[in-house]
C-alpha cells in the first residue's frame, strides 16, 4: 500500500493544552486519528510521528524521500513547529531527497509575531497550508494525494 507521512516538530506533543486560544483543544492523538481516517479514505497508509529533535525529523524526511523514490509513498505533510523559522537543516534534508512536502501550520503564522513570518521550509515545499486549524492536516493529505496522481 502507498503511504503518506505526517511529521510534527517540537512542542506539537502539547497540542490541546498549549495555547488553546491559538492552536485549539484538539490533541495530537486526535489529529493522528483524523489523518488516519483521511489517509484510509484515499487508499493510503499513514505513517505519523512527532519529535522535539531536529535530527529525528531529518532521519524521517530521508526515509520518506527514499519511500517516494521507490514508489511506496506520495510524500509528507510537515508541521515543523518552531523549526520553520530556524532550520536550514530541515530545508536541506527536504531538498536533498527531493521529498514532496506540504508545509503545514495550524495557526496563520502571518498574523502572529514578525519572527514567524519567515520560513526556511517554504522554498522547498510543494505547497503550504496555513491557518485552517487542525483541519489543515486533511487538506494537506488530500493535496499530496492529488499531486501524486497522474494528470
Q: Give the active site residues.
A: 23, 105
Pair 38, 141: CB distance under 8 Å: yes
87 assigned ligand-binding residue = no
Q: Is 142 annotated as a binding residue?
A: no
Contacts of 128 (CB under 8 A, 6+ apart): 102, 103, 104, 105, 119, 122
For residue 107, say whether it is annotated as part of any ligand binding site: yes
> Is position 106 annotated in a ligand binding site?
yes
Helix, strand or coil for residue 93? helix
Write out the three cell numbers for 23: 492552536
User: Please, what is the end-to-end C-alpha distance for the chain in angstroms?
Assistant: 21
Q: Is 79 annotated as a binding residue?
A: yes
Q: Is 30 annotated as a binding residue?
A: no
Binding residues: 79, 85, 92, 106-107, 116
Binding residues for substrate: 79, 85, 92, 106-107, 116
Amino acid at each position: 500500500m502507498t503511504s503518506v507521512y505526517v511529521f510534527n516538530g517540537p512542542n506539537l506533543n502539547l497540542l490541546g493544552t498549549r495555547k488553546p486560544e491559538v492552536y485549539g483543544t484538539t490533541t495530537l492523538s486526535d489529529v493522528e486519528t483524523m489523518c488516519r481516517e483521511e489517509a484510509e479514505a484515499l487508499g493510503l497508509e499513514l505513517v505519523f510521528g512527532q519529535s522535539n529533535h531536529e535530527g529525528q525529523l531529518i532521519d524521517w524526511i530521508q526515509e520518506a524521500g527514499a519511500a517516494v523514490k521507490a514508489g511506496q509513498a506520495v510524500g509528507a505533510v510537515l508541521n515543523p513547529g518552531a523549526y520553520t523559522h530556524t532550520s536550514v537543516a530541515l530545508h536541506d534534508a527536504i531538498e536533498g531527497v527531493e521529498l514532496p512536502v506540504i508545509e503545514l501550520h495550524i495557526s496563520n503564522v502571518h498574523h502572529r509575531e514578525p519572527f514567524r513570518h519567515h520560513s526556511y521550509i517554504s522554498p522547498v515545499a510543494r505547497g503550504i497550508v496555513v491557518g485552517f486549524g487542525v483541519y489543515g492536516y486533511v487538506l494537506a493529505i488530500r493535496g499530496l494525494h492529488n499531486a501524486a496522481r497522474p494528470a
